[in-house]
Structure 1
Amino acid sequence: MGIFDFFTQEIAIDLGTANTLIIHNDKVVVDEPSIVAVDRATNKVIAVGKQAQKMHGKTHENIKTIRPLKDGVIADFHAAEHMIRGMIKMINQSNKLFQPSLKMVICIPSGITEVEKRAVRDSAEHAGAKEVYLIHEPMAAAIGIGIDVEEPMGNMIIDIGGGTSEIAVIALGGIVCDKSIRVAGDEFTSDIEDYMRRQHNILIGERTAEIIKIEVGAAMIELENPPEEYAVHGRDLMTGIPKEITVSHVEIAHALDKSISKIEEAILSALEMTPPELSADIYKTGIYLAGGGSMLRGLDKRISMKTKLPVHVADDPLRAVARGTGIALKNADRYQFLIK
């Protein structure tokens, strides 16, 4: 390792609505929730990532928790910059003397506007990046799954993240047609909150709804090995007293049905836009699912039934995009689709 390598640090960032992952030297070095806690009086950032997540929904008036990204794009510029900076600091724990200059590849949703792109770039530059490259999420997911994106073969990738679901058909190192909808993991979580309030008269927080989604979340009622019922604690709307109820995957499948239908519609409309030669390829290769949302029980089966196509879930769906961003970083000079 030469002295100049020491001064330049190359990192790949999967800047997600729900989680942010940073890859350095081919390893995931940071995997934290995308959230910061701020002191209202001084506007100073108190905690980032997991520490801030613990405070979410439990703060008093001097502290507020902010999720800087909404629907896959930066909603709070100040908080986003501090979050990126705080997470980069987690890598450089041992080296307190000087800050190396950073070269970053950051992935962004495919349906993002120029203004939103600018916000990502500015946040990265304020956090210390000297060189910033951007890559579209479906492209990063495809590379992370292990697809050769530069081949003249069509592949359909669906990346269901926290804020957005990205559906793209990729061939020859480019996105041929894409559809980005703002229905994804966060929407599922709020569906569960609404369902609990309407159906069981119980008020639950975002974190509890998220846990229910992980424990008993399902996209369809008939599952091969259904999860056990889960005990939920929240506040009774009638009495105001905390209480417990149990929910099953059947109820959650009902609660999520509308949102999943929206994703299915978007998939069908992306398939309609696909040129016929690529449609022929997709018939053979099927559809690839990545992102945390693709871990919802039975979702692959449901999409497969709807499209009559084989559906493959990526090996480690949560990290597929981050892995792909890391590979793109190593081949930054070779890949033409990186946006400088």
Structure 2
Amino acid sequence: MFNKKNFFINNLSIKKIDFFRSIIKIEPFLNTYSDTLGNFLRRTLFLTSFCYKISHVKIYNVNSFYFNIKGISESVDEIVENLKNIIISIKNDYSANLLIKKKGPCIVQAKDIYSDKKILIINPEKIIANINCNVFFFVIMKCIHSSFFKIIDKNFEKKIFFSKVFYLKENNSCLINVNYFIHKSKINIKIKKLFLDIETNGSISPEECFKNSLFYIKKYFDVFFSLLGFNKKKKIELFKEKILKINPLFFRSIDNLELSIRSSNCLKSKNIFLIGDLLKKNENDLLKIPKFGNKCLNEVKKMLFEKKLSLNMKIDYEF
């Protein structure tokens, strides 16, 4: 028989220390369950602490990991290592396409990253690369939830431009530290309180980490409960609203417009790879491109009109 007197937790409170750290108090306990539960929750937190990480990286005109880009201080492996250390959070989704497009001389930082989803960069001042001269730096990436980290996007190599795709296989935890300690009451030493001290890197809040661990605990124990004949509760489906920061069409390659080979090559010769890059140009800008005449211009305008777009548009991401 289950003895309620031995296990009667009736209070759980959360004290937020700062953005990265919280202390969770669970009380009261009348036996050694506090130590058992504390150790169990700590282990579960480490096993279920998923976060967002950059999994695919592609740099324009780079086909080797051991390659030095002219005009950039860092080597390719150093740039990739800097990208690994960027802490990102995606709102209401499990993946996002990221893009950096800069022209030197300048310092490329994490805050220069743009996305087709609503993202939060915890360390925006993180330096990715130092461009020393008039060099074009173009990087596209894919950021996914670490629970999907083994999934490889085979079409990523063909997106926007052809270059070698670097797959980042490391899966670091969002947890920095998890400790638990037990406090005994001065009045009644048999009554105990369990405290969980959770600290994360900011990509997910400590409270969310704790909720995730409880979700997985319930998920696995529901299997046992169903075998033992406990009543099943109705499942409630949660619909996640996907919030786009900008129109994802702007991030698609100009190849999606099905332009002629001449028009496409002329645009790419001036670093116009994305539909968003093309929309920012006006007719005079395009006519200044060598070998790009009125015939090519009319073709571009026709294809954009079919997608309900036009030239000389003002869009949210400016490089």
TM-score bracket for the superposition, by shorter chain length: under 0.3
TM-score, normalization: structure 1?
A: 0.26
TM-score, normalization: structure 2?
A: 0.27
Higher helix share: 1
Tell me which of the two structures has the higher relative contact order, counting C-alpha pairs closer than 8 angstroms and 6 or more residues apart.
2
For the pair shown, the structure with the greater C-alpha radius of gyration is 2
